[in-house]
Amino acid sequence: MNNWESKGLASPDTEIELNASDERKITFIQMPNGHGKTTTFNLLEFAFDPRSIDEIVHVQFDPEPTPLKAWIRGLQCKTTPKNEGEFVVRGTFDSQNFIIKLQFDLELGTVIKSYTIGGQTDLPITGLPSNFRQLLRSGVTDFMMLDGERAKSFLDHKKGTADEAVSTIHRTDILVELALQLDSYKDERMVELGNISGRSRELGMAQKKFNEATKLYDERKGQQDSIDAVISFLEQSLVDKTQEKDAFGSISDAKTREIEAQTNLMDQNNTSRIAEQTKQLDLMISSVCSISPKFGDELIYLKSQLERNKLPESAGKEWFFELAELDECVCGRPLEATHKTNVRNLASNYLSGNHQNILNNVKNHIREGVKPSDTTDRDALVQYVSKGIDFYSTFDEARTQRRNLIEEAATISGNKAQYEAIVLEISELETKIENAVGQKENLSGGSGNPKSVEYAKTKLNEAKVNLSGYKDAYELVEKHKILNRLLGMLHRDVKEEICQKVTDETNEVCSGILGSDDMEIESIESSLNLVGSEEKRVGGSVGQTMVLAYSFIQVLNRQSGIDIPLVIDSPCGPLDDEHRKEVAELLWSLKSRNIIIFVINTEREDFVDRIIELADDEKREQEVQYFTQFKRNDKTENHFTGTTDNAFLSKDKTFFLDFTTTGELEATGE
């Protein structure tokens, strides 16, 4: 920040030229109370507010949040009120000059904020270079503007932004910003990819479709490459089969039928001949004597013996038994028991009627049919059996003949089957050729033909693009997850480590100033959490709190690489003499950056004096600037000799050190 200029506002219409060189300086701006010191302080803070005007509903300047319109209207100068006012801040950032201009309509309570940077004028905040915009967004004013309230806010966990301050000053919020940018990038890329899913399941399905499309295309292409060869092969096969068919000539069924008739006739003849043979043989051997002529001799001998023994014609045995039962003989003499026993014994030598009957049947049979062996017709049986043997030999020939006929018929039948099979094959080949020609036409068709190679190619390309999209989406989502997790971990770890470092160094600085551990920080969260009881955690005196805040700011300043001035409003008001000197020494040690200190004349003692001492000791008097400014009123009138200006500005050190306003304490605050 090189200068600021105020016109038509409650602050003096002056232009404060700070330090145009690279040399670091402490700039005192001495203003009496009620001459716009706090207004200037607030205007600077408002100028560096990173939000657009539309976003600002309330300003957070103390003591309470104030509606923007009311605050703007309150900027109007009471003594010489104007409807319009302007506040301009000029500076250099990253080797580029910038201007922040605030144009107020004090009547309507509106403001237009414009930026000029790098030669580009009237830029809205959204048109700023990203690094400059980033600087504003980093909450730079939190570390640039410091007053008692802000110092206290470091200890208030409700208002506190201590951890944010650490994050901002150490740029760890870059990691958060990076994560947000990563989210934005991911969202944008996902939109570009058509908002398709980045899940593995969808990727898997896309891969499957791609594989299927590849397979289809490969099949079609393969078919197309080989279809001519297939057609050629089929056509050659057709020629071969046709020749094979022609070689068969005509196949007649007549021969087969003739053979069947012959075999049937043979079967009938053989069957009837066997039947006849069997019948004749049956008749011939129906008598056992035909089988063995000597059986006849034995039977004839039996018959002769039976007849020679003169057996009773009939019932001989029964007659004797009846006789044995009689009391007297047929001659009239009585029969004794011994006689009866003799008769019964005698009777047992005779055969009964039943014996006689069977034996007579046997005898009659022998008499009528049985011949002696030398007269039997045994030779007839033997001859007939021989005839049968002959018959079977001829029968075997017939069977051989029949078998040959059947084989011949089978050959003809087989040939016929073969012929028919060839005819069928020819028919099938013709159909195959027709199909192959049709397939060839289909394969060569355009992309509109679902059976064409072109169609498969189109589908493959679609699937490829589709898969590529899903792959990209999947990779994007996965990478985003990993990076997000890494950034989160990194941010947490870095923040933790830095906070600890800031805590340690702040405690060292603070205890060095206060000479005690009364304001020792335990941890940094939303606020600086102090070690000790609940009561102690609220903080010490205003002076102690300011020391802690300066210590904190100093540490942040030391650790940060951000080159921004420190603007302090009334640093010593609440401090006692001893602490004033210590704060002066602290601020002198902070002089690695520009420090702008708003003071009133009563703050000079022990504070400004001590800084002058330090500058003198180190022969660096030129590094301290002294501004005194105030507005025209009854108390300051004697300083406006012959001018019509309503504001006074002096850069003189002596004037600064001697300046007093007798009515300063009574001046009405604006």
Partner 1 sequence: MSEMSFEIDEDGERGIQARILGNRPRTQAAVFDDYFLMLNLGLAAGYQTSKDNCGESRVFYQPNSPPGAYTKSWNSIIGLVIVNSLREEAIDFENKEEMNSEIQKLIGEDLEEPFTDDFWEAINGYARTGAKIILDMDSDKMQWEEFLHFSYLAVIDELQEEKHKNLPFKIE
How far apart CA 413 and CA 408 sit, in angstroms, is 8
* 285 contacts partner 1 (rule: CB under 8 A): yes
- 57 Cβ neighbours under 8 A, 6+ residues apart: 67, 68
Structure tokens at 66: 């104030």
Q: Which part of the chain contacts partner 1 (CB under 8 A), choosing from 97-105, 297-305, 403-411, 602-610?
A: 297-305
Q: How far is the CB of 314 from partner 1 (least distance, A)?
A: 13
| Angle (nearest 5°) at CA 536 between 533 and 541 | 175
Q: Which part of the chain contacts partner 1 (CB under 8 A), choosing from 139-147, 159-167, 290-298, 418-426?
A: 290-298
Would you say 114 or 287 has its CB closer to partner 1?
A: 287
Would you say 294 or 481 has its CB closer to partner 1?
A: 294
Would you say 199 or 355 has its CB closer to partner 1?
A: 355
Size of the site for partner 1 (CB under 8 A): 49
Structure tokens at 468: 């590529």
Would you say 99 or 285 has its CB closer to partner 1?
A: 285
When binding is defined by CB under 8 A, the residue of 95, 126, 130, 305 that contacts partner 1 is: 305
Q: What is the dihedral sign for C-alpha 379, 380, 382, 386?
A: positive
Angle between helices 378-443 and 254-284 (to 10 degrees): 160
Q: In this structure, what are the phi and psi dihedrals at residue 29, rounded to the nearest 5 degrees?
A: -120, 105
- The three-state DSSP-derived secondary structure of 619-651 is CCHHHEEEEEEEECCCCCHHHCCCCCCCEEEEC
Would you say 284 or 590 has its CB closer to partner 1?
A: 284
When binding is defined by CB under 8 A, the residue of 209, 303, 459, 632 that contacts partner 1 is: 303
When binding is defined by CB under 8 A, the residue of 208, 255, 294, 492 that contacts partner 1 is: 294
> What number of CA atoms fall less than 13 Å from residue 110's CA on the CB side?
3
How far apart CA 33 and CA 293 sit, in angstroms, is 176
The number of residues making up the chain comes to 670
How far apart CA 352 and CA 372 sit, in angstroms, is 29
Provide the 3-class DSSP secondary structure of residue 44.
helix
Structure tokens at 654: 């002596």
Q: How far is the CB of 383 from partner 1 (least distance, A)?
A: 10
Q: Which part of the chain contacts partner 1 (CB under 8 A), choosing from 272-280, 415-423, 514-522, 593-601?
A: 272-280
Provide the 3-class DSSP secondary structure of residue 199.
coil
Q: Map the footprint of partner 1 across residues 336-395, applying CB under 8 A.
A: 348-352, 354-355, 358-359, 361-362, 364-366, 370, 381-382, 385-386, 388-389, 391-392
- Burial letters 580-604, b for 16+ CB under 10 A, else e: bbbbbbbbbebbebbbbbbbbbebb
Host H or E run for residue 353: helix 353-369
- x/- mask, partner 1, residues 641-660, rule CB under 8 A, reads --------------------
- The terminus-to-terminus CA distance of the chain in angstroms comes to 25
Q: How far is the CB of 374 from partner 1 (least distance, A)?
A: 11
Q: How far is the CB of 362 from partner 1 (least distance, A)?
A: 5
When binding is defined by CB under 8 A, the residue of 57, 70, 265, 288 that contacts partner 1 is: 288
The β-bridge partners of 4 are: 16, 89
Residue type (1 letter), 290: S
Helices vs strands, H then E, count in the chain: 21, 16
When binding is defined by CB under 8 A, the residue of 211, 226, 278, 415 that contacts partner 1 is: 278
How far apart CA 35 and CA 41 sit, in angstroms, is 12
Would you say 354 or 401 has its CB closer to partner 1?
A: 354
Preceding peptide of 63 cis, ω within 30°: yes
Host H or E run for residue 568: strand 566-569
Q: Which part of the chain contacts partner 1 (CB under 8 A), choosing from 41-49, 128-136, 205-213, 276-284?
A: 276-284
- x/- mask, partner 1, residues 218-257, rule CB under 8 A, reads ----------------------------------------
How far apart CA 494 and CA 175 sit, in angstroms, is 10
| Angle (nearest 5°) at CA 301 between 296 and 303 | 95
When binding is defined by CB under 8 A, the residue of 100, 289, 553, 600 that contacts partner 1 is: 289
Q: How far is the CB of 241 from partner 1 (least distance, A)?
A: 50
Structure tokens at 427: 């028919």
* 299 contacts partner 1 (rule: CB under 8 A): yes
Q: Which part of the chain contacts partner 1 (CB under 8 A), choosing from 21-29, 306-314, 564-572, 587-595?
A: 306-314
CA distances, 232 to each of 157, 235, 239 (Å): 91, 5, 11
- DSSP for 593-624, written as a single string: S-EEEEE-GGGIIIIIHHHHHHHHHTT-GGGE
When binding is defined by CB under 8 A, the residue of 185, 233, 295, 319 that contacts partner 1 is: 295
Q: How far is the CB of 401 from partner 1 (least distance, A)?
A: 19
Query: Do residues 1 and 593 make contact, with C-beta atoms less than 8 angstroms apart?
Result: no
Q: How far is the CB of 303 from partner 1 (least distance, A)?
A: 8
**Within 10 Å of residue 150's Cβ, how many Cβ atoms?**
21
H helices present in 106-172, as ranges: 130-137, 141-144, 148-153, 162-169
In the block, which residue shows the tokens 């397979």? 215
Would you say 167 or 356 has its CB closer to partner 1?
A: 356
Would you say 93 or 391 has its CB closer to partner 1?
A: 391
When binding is defined by CB under 8 A, the residue of 178, 182, 196, 274 that contacts partner 1 is: 274
Q: How far is the CB of 433 from partner 1 (least distance, A)?
A: 59
Query: Do residues 206 and 196 make contact, with C-beta atoms less than 8 angstroms apart?
Result: no
Would you say 247 or 389 has its CB closer to partner 1?
A: 389
Q: How far is the CB of 402 from partner 1 (least distance, A)?
A: 17
Q: Which part of the chain contacts partner 1 (CB under 8 A), choosing from 104-112, 124-132, 296-304, 440-448?
A: 296-304
- DSSP for 205-247, written as a single string: HHHHHHHHHHHHHHHHHHHHHHHHHHHHHHHHHHHHHHHHHHH
Q: How far is the CB of 359 from partner 1 (least distance, A)?
A: 7
Q: Which part of the chain contacts partner 1 (CB under 8 A), choosing from 166-174, 282-290, 480-488, 547-555?
A: 282-290
Q: How far is the CB of 272 from partner 1 (least distance, A)?
A: 13
> What number of CA atoms fall less than 13 Å from residue 483's CA on the CB side?
17
Q: How far is the CB of 385 from partner 1 (least distance, A)?
A: 5
Q: Which part of the chain contacts partner 1 (CB under 8 A), choosing from 154-162, 240-248, 301-309, 517-525?
A: 301-309
Q: Map the footprint of partner 1 across residues 166-185, applying CB under 8 A.
A: none
Q: How far is the CB of 398 from partner 1 (least distance, A)?
A: 15
Would you say 184 or 400 has its CB closer to partner 1?
A: 400
- x/- mask, partner 1, residues 609-628, rule CB under 8 A, reads --------------------
* 324 contacts partner 1 (rule: CB under 8 A): no
Q: Which residues bind partner 1 (CB under 8 A)?
A: 274, 278-279, 281-282, 285-289, 291-292, 294-295, 297-305, 309-311, 348-352, 354-355, 358-359, 361-362, 364-366, 370, 381-382, 385-386, 388-389, 391-392
